[in-house]
Each structure stands twice: as structure tokens, then as C-alpha cells.
Structure 1
Amino acid sequence: MRAPAALFEPTRLGDLTLPNRMVMAPMSRARADADGTPGTLMADYYAQRASAGLIVAEGTHPVAVGAIGPDAPGLFTDAHQDGWARVADGVHAAGGRVFLQLMHAGRLAHPDFLPEGSLPVAPSAMAADAPVYTPGGRVPAVTPRALTDAGIRELIDDFVRSACRAVAAGLDGVEIHAANGYLLHQFLAENANLRTDRWGGDTEGRIRLPVAIARAVADTVGPHRVGVRISPSNPFGDLTEADPYGTYTALVRALAPLEIAYLHHGETGTELDPAVRELWPTALMVTPLPADRDKPEAAAHSLARGADLVSFGRDFLANPDLVTRCRIGTPLNEARRTGFYGGGAQGYTDYPAL
């Protein structure tokens, strides 16, 4: 099936004009230097995929204790900023646009790859019943340290400082990651957030931190440079949400007045999907469900349901020219498991274009 024509129409996103509605989703690839600095290989990888309407670069920790694993990129030092500037310059030289996803791992970090003596942090001192990937392989998650009120306020500042570095590096904006089992999602989930202060308890308390970070970042770098990602009901990282409809409609209502550039919503296949579209005032980016659906069909379905942008993951990983292939209906390269995480050019920058 050839992709719908609407997928290749230009659209506005904040102050940007996107040439098409296909977004390269953020995907962890573990190709940064040991200190978290993006190198030339990362710059080449993203530049190859600059025909996407928008690239959202992989999850990047704003502080050392937020790393998701070995060789994940960071953005809290001058070296990190210089590395991301190379990425931005490469994408822009190829005619593209690129946001960067700010992601804090929370309780899914591990002491084996954190600074010596550090523990992961989380809303509450509750270990995830989930494996964590370390240099020595998969190991059980450890019990994290519960953030104090002062620690939470410092965390907000960490996100703001990292967003400022992203803009200074020449990136077009940042996506705040409140999804997929990581720290801000942990604050949203009742089984990970057992707090009884203003940062937990009822729905208003559990959504407070994602909203506070989005507001602080938007106030500093401009709302047109900010997106937020959510994935309601996603159980990754041992999260359970008792009332995703109530939690996420409240979150979307609280974020809407900020008028940020976009909301990145992982479809649930429930009544929540149309509710999000009805409540959200700016661009809505959608990750289609189910993941194994024919991609052109999934894109057509998402656009018909009101999405402005459609996010593609492994298809962009394996097809640097995905936009062209979808436009003309050419078969896609299959993603190879070898090289998904870590390594060099193999399985990273060696996928052929037409």
C-alpha cells in the first residue's frame, strides 16, 4: 500500500515549516562516547535521515544520574553541547530539522554506569520489577533514592539548563520525555509514585512535575521549541496506571495553556485517543498502534483520526530515505537486530538508500 498523499503535505510546527508529516522517532542507539558526548558517527546517522519532516533525536539525559545506560548521550557539559552542535549542523546542512528528547531514566538507571557512589533517583524508594541493561548485561533494577522536594526543584532546573544548551547548540527544540517507563512517567504512575506531598497522591499531584518542567522549559527557551511525549498505559519499567483516561486528560488539560509546539502521543486504541485530539490545541504527533501494522495503513489511520504528524521508529532506523520510499511505494529495508544498541557503523549508518 502506498502511503497517503496527506503524509507528504507541509505543515507548521511552532516556528518551523515541515516539508512532510513524517517524524523520525527518538530511538536509543548507544553510540555516544563513554562520557556521553555525541561523535561524528552520530552526526552522520542523523544527517542521513534529514529528509524526515522532523527528527526527534534520541533520549538524552540532562544530568549524570539520569543516564539510561552505557554510551547514552548527555547534555550537561560543554563537550556534550559541542557534540550536539555537530549533529545539528549536519542535519541542517542536509536540509533537515531536529529536536532532541530530554530523558531522565529515574529508577531504570543503575549504579554500574552512574558516577561512582550514585544511586538512581525516583519519586519513591520502590525498585522496578524489571531488568536494567548494564555493561555486564541485564541485571535487576536496584532500589532508588526518593527525590526530596529540593531535589525535585533542582531537577526542574536541570531540564531547563539542558534545554538552553540544546538551543545554544543549534538544535530546533526539545521534547520532554514523560513516557515509556522513565522518570516523569514514574511520577504519573500510582505504583511508582507513593508520595503524599505535593508531587504525588492524587492526579493533580502526580501530574505536577511533568507540567512544571514543561512550563519552566517553555518559559526559558520559548514554547515553540518544546514538545512533550506521553505513552498512556505503557507498562514498560513495571509501571501500572489505574485510570489512564483520568490521568492523561488531566495532564493534557494542564499542558494545553502552555501552547507548546506539539504533544507526542502513543496511541492506546481506547477512548483516550480521540479525547487527546479534542483537548490538544497545537500540533499532535502520534505513534500509531499496533506497532506491527502496515506503516502506510497506520499513517493513514492516524491522520484520519486527527494527527498532524506521524512518528516512525525502526523504519527510519533501517531506511535513511524512508520518505522517498513511502512516497513512491518502494519496499523497505528490514531492520537488522545486530547494531541496534552500541557498536560502530554496522547496523547504524550502513543501511542503503535507493
Structure 2
Amino acid sequence: MDTMPWRAWAEQMSTGLAVVDAQLRVAWINPALAEWLETGPRSAVGQPLGLLLHEPDWLAQAGRVLGEQRAMQWRGVALVSARGREVSADVSLQPLGDDQLLLEVHVLAEPQSMNSPLSATLRGFAHEVKNPLAGLRGAAQLLQRRVGDEDLKSLAGLVIAEADRLTSLANRLLHHDGAARLAPVNIHERLEWLCDLLQAEPEPPQLRHDYDPSLPDVMGDADRLQQILLNLARNAIEAGARMLTLRTRVEHGLRLGERVVRTALRVDVIDDGPGVPPALRDSLFEPLVSGRADGSGLGLALAREIAREHGGELRFVSRPGETVFSLYLPLERLHG
């Protein structure tokens, strides 16, 4: 049976899929299963399936699937990757002709190392947006080459830069390069970049700055910190804010999580919108919680997750006409 026609849509599925030969070597694997196994799709090809899965007991019965030409299923089995990552999953094998098997894996639970239920959702979303981002970048490149107006060229360059940044974030989520890439970050440069993005909106908000120019750099992942700021601003605008104030300060003796830090950077995004509805205040940072009918509920959850991976926190206070989201980042890693 020729498996090629369905591989295009199989590449997009969140269900783990692989094709193995009669010797149980991987002939093809989709990104979802490669991610769970903590390997790249290309590097998995040619590898024994037992090596990638640590020889689970049910794999010994795989020969019966080809011999009897019938599908087999196993419920709630443990899958362990070559790096020791473990998931619980429902697994099925079915014959693809005389010499190949289709493996299907439905993960039932995230591994213990994945602390946030958001992560699986984000990785699935990251996979879905890569193709549109490539198309967006290509269109912006064509526009940049064809227009003569320098302002339009600059806007097209902004689109290209944002597409590249989001593609980089998506790749790092998809390929398990998940750790933040820490380097000194000038937070005011990130805020000015945010302002450039917001001014390119069809109906840009009014912007005010209240910066502490004495602030030192913070140790962080510039792309991810940029994402926090963008999510906070967009959340405010979509909630009805017409003015945003961006404020930076230093905090001393602040508790972040389980520890007290001597100094921390605070970035406030202040809006004049209607405020956070009381019913949402206790769950606002949870995945899939949104105050809008068309909201995804991922923006603030992602922002909090990024803040925490930097050793920081995201907090808010809200009343009608003034909502303040505050990002706290420890300065001690760089200036201890």
C-alpha cells in the first residue's frame, strides 16, 4: 500500500503516527510522535522502534499484526523515550500491506517534567502556524522588493522580523529546544520594539512611557520576553483599551515564588479598558480562559509560563478604567 497520499495531513496531526517496516525500523514518523520521543523526524528514520521506545512488552507482539494481517491495540501502556521521558498512551498497530505497519499513539497524560498543561496546547498550535507564517513572510518579502516608499519597506521589514521571531519560537516548542536562551536584555529596547508593532496596527492605541532610565539589563530570552509584552498589550487592546502606559521600575526585597530576591525589574502595562471581570480574576492566567467569545485563552497563560521560566512572576490589579499587569523579573542573575 502506498502511504504517501496521506502523509501530508498526517504531518499536521497531533496524534503520534509512524510507519515501520517488517524489522520494526522506522520508515517515517510525524512531528507529534517525534516530539514525544524527544527526537527529530529525520534522525528517527532507520532507527529500531524498540530503541526509541525502550522495548515495551507489547512490541513483541508486533509480528502477529503482519502475520495475521489484523490490527492490535493496547490501552494505557507506558512509553519511555531514549532520554527517559515517560508518557501513558493508547497504542495501535495495523498492517499497511505485507511489509509495513502503521503505529498510532494517543498520549493520555503529559510527563511529569511538563509542569504546565499549556505546553502541549502550545506545541500543537506552534505546528499549525508554521505554514501560514512562511506564507506571510514570503508575501512581505515580495512587498518589500516591489514598493518604492521607504515607510512601506520598513513596515514590510517589521512583518518579516515578526514572522521570523514567531517561527523561531514555534521551532523551539516543536523540537523540544525548550529552555530559555538567556542573555543580557535591555528591557527598554523590547518596549520600543513593542511600540513599533502597536503603531503598525490598523487602529493603534495611544502610548505613554514612564521609564526608569537607570535600569540595568536583565538576564532573559529576548524573544520570549518580547512575547510577554506583546501578549499583555494585545490583551488590553482587544479588551477595549485605547491608551496604554508602559512603565519600568526597580523593586527591592520582593518575593517571587518560593524565594525573596534582593532586586527585581518591574514592567507595568497599564490600560484604560473596562477591567477584568470579577468572575475571571481567580482563573485569568489559566489556559483556555478568556473574557471574549472569540478569545483563545492562551495569551496570558503563555505570558505567565514565560515569566515563571525566567524566575519571575506576572500579577495584575484591576478596576474599571485602569488595569495594571506587572511583569517581575529577578535582576540578581546578572547583578547579584
TM-score, length of structure 2 as denominator length: 0.21
TM-score, length of structure 1 as denominator length: 0.21
More strand by share: 2
Q: Which has the larger radius of gyration?
A: 2
Higher RCO (Cα < 8 Å, 6 or more apart): 1
